[in-house]
């Protein structure tokens, strides 16, 4: 499926301007506002692969940098700044992709900031949140406090998690998802880590694991529409 990639500038009210990328396949049926993780920007190989893979499945992506990443600062932005960036990205994606299903979320930190923003005030027109490795806790320090805000979210949520994810002990994440009820779906990627990379002994390649992630995400998005 042919797709068009457009480099953009995203204005965040009272904060500044950041870079953004719209990947728009012909006849797109949905757009995923895809926020990056804490340690890598919107052009990271993982983000590029997700955007390209979803485009092949007829789903557009709107990627953007958080201000700290645009300015090459080490520390992630304060939540209020991250939330403002996400709101600006959602509004711009809705403007550029009118009339199609709008999804938000992203990789790790980006997904968690999106869910926080949604819990504070619903993101306009967003029909669901998809998390590519929800960071439930610090590395190998299991807890579920970071999930408390999820209870106030009314729209469907998809958690795509590797079974070896050091930032989401499934013994803690499964009860969180169960407690959220039918609005939440957990898909476990066998032997995947926080970025869905798999061990060689799993018998699969990283690309095969990512294909599973993208197929699952695309099917879930279609279910929302």
pLDDT at res. 74? 86
Alpha helices of 135-205 — where are they, by DSSP H? 170-180
Nearest to 52 by CA among 5, 106, 99, 97: 5
pLDDT at res. 71? 96
**Whether 111 contacts 96, CB under 8 Å:** no
Tell me, yes or no, if the pTM score tops 0.95. yes
Q: How far is it, in rounded angstroms, from Cα 160 to Cα 179?
A: 17
Q: At residue 1, does pLDDT exceed 80? A: no
Domain count across the chain: 1
**CA distances from residue 34 to 22, 31, 50, 55, 60 in whole angstroms, order as listed:** 10, 9, 9, 13, 10
Tell me the mean pLDDT in the region 114-129.
98
CATH code (residue 27) = 3.40.50.1820
Q: How far is it, in rounded angstroms, from Cα 213 to Cα 190?
A: 11
User: Range of 75's domain?
Assistant: 3-224
Confidence of residue 86 (pLDDT cuts 50, 70, 90): very high
Reduce the DSSP state of residue 110 to 3 states and report it. helix
Q: How far is it, in rounded angstroms, from Cα 116 to Cα 112?
A: 6
Tally the residues of the chain. 225
DSSP 80: H
Reduce the DSSP state of residue 142 to 3 states and report it. coil
Residues 6 or more apart from 122 whose CB is under 8 A from it?
154, 155
Neighbours of 172 (CB within 10 A): 16
pLDDT, tens only, 15-71: 999 999 999 999 999 999 999 999 999 999 999 999 999 999 999 999 999 999 999
Nearest to 220 by CA among 154, 163, 160, 135: 160
């Amino acid at each position: 499926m042919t797709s068009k990639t457009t480099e953009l500038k995203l204005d965040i009210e009272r904060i500044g301007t950041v870079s953004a990328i719209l990947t728009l396949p012909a006849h797109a049926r949905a757009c995923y506002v895809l926020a990056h993780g804490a340690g890598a920007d919107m052009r990271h190989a993982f983000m590029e692969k997700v955007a390209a893979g979803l485009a092949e499945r007829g789903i557009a992506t709107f990627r953007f940098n958080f201000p700290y990443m645009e300015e090459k600062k080490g520390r992630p932005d304060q939540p209020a700044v991250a939330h403002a960036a996400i709101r600006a990205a959602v509004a711009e994606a809705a403007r550029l992709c009118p009339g199609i299903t709008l999804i938000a979320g992203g990789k790790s930190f980006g997904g968690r900031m999106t869910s926080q923003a949604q819990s504070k005030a619903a993101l306009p027109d967003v029909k669901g949140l998809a998390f590519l490795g929800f960071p439930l806790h610090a590395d190998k320090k299991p807890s579920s406090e970071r999930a408390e805000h999820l209870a106030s979210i009314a729209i469907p949520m998809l958690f795509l998690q590797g079974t070896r994810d050091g930032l989401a002990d499934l013994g803690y994440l499964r009860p969180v998802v169960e407690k959220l009820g039918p609005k939440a779906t957990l898909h476990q990627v066998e032997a995947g880590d926080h970025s869905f990379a798999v061990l060689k002994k799993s018998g699969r390649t990283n690309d095969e694991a990512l294909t599973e992630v993208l197929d699952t995400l695309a099917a879930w998005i279609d279910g929302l529409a």
